Amino acid sequence: MMIALLSSAVFISCNDDDDDDTSNPPEFAGANLSGDNMTVTVTFTQGVYGDEAATEPLTANSFAVVLAGGSAVMDGITVEHTAGAEIAEIMINYTEPANGEEVITVEPLFIYNSEGVAMSTDQMATVQLAELGIIGEWYSSGNNVAPLLATYFNVDSIYANFNSDQTYVVESYDPDGVKTEYTGTFTQTKSDVGNIYTILLNQSTPSSITSEGIFEVVPNGDGFDLKYEVVQTEPDIGNTPPTPSGGFGSSNNGELGDSNIQKFLILN
């Protein structure tokens, strides 16, 4: 099953009365979720403000945002809005990744139209988070770095950003802080074995390489949020990628043991 990167379904609670009449309170007109689960864009039936005098933009204090279900943990929001605009962006911070069972509900607290008419707190908009797989920003250091990388490639830490457009940037640092950057594209597919995915990476820089392997997002893991194991398959150097059925440690038919297992913490 490929991971869908489309915006999720939205439920809006509102009525159909004369939305453009500023004597009526503003209402939600729609809500969309970005492909990385990070931003909820809400639209209103008229221009809105964060104060009754209609001079200030909306802020985080203008909304009540609640996350329910699933494994994700929300750690605050920030809001981008221009006073009088009909669109606001709510950026959500997470400390644990989503599994696709989460629903975010947005409700107004202090939102007004140009006449100072307050938005009803009965209004709400909901979006459902997507199961993103490896999409997100990840960091590995210390004992989370695969022993194979630390011992033979002098890797001290790794920053990885897997984007919703299926591109990636990986930065590897040695103990002296010297960076090597890898970029390319990836395809992830959820397997029939637990929550394990397969991943195919087509690296374009600094050299053209194909790697294959598996990963599993492990919310609230023991010091990590992601297990990741891949090997180079093109050009062929004799490696055999790990498989979901073989599990972690199955690279090269198990010859590498746990030495090729990389662990990451989520950053976003």
Fold exhibited by the domain 10-128 = Immunoglobulin-like (2.60.40)
> What percent of the chain lies above the pLDDT cut of 70?
91
R_g (Cα) of the chain, nearest Å: 23
- Model confidence at 98, pLDDT cuts 50, 70, 90, reads confident
Dump pLDDT digits (tens) for 143-181: 999 999 999 999 999 999 999 999 999 999 999 999 999
List the one residue out of 203, 262, 257, 197 whose CA is nearest residue 234: 203
What is the residue extent of each domain of the chain?
Answer: 10-128, 136-266
Please answer whether residues 105 and 65 qualify as being in contact, where contact means their C-beta atoms are separated by less than 8 angstroms.
Answer: yes
Question: What gap in Å lies between CA 248 and CA 94, rounded to an integer?
Answer: 26
The average confidence (pLDDT) of the chain is 91
Please answer whether residues 210 and 201 qualify as being in contact, where contact means their C-beta atoms are separated by less than 8 angstroms.
Answer: yes
Dump pLDDT digits (tens) for 248-259: 999 999 999 999
Sheet with 103-108: strands ordered across: 10-13, 124-128, 103-108, 63-68
Determine the pLDDT at residue 222. Answer: 76
Reduced to 3 states (helix: H, G, I; strand: E, B; else coil), residue 144 is helix
Residue 109: left if φ>0, alpha if ψ -120 to 50, beta else—which one?
Answer: alpha
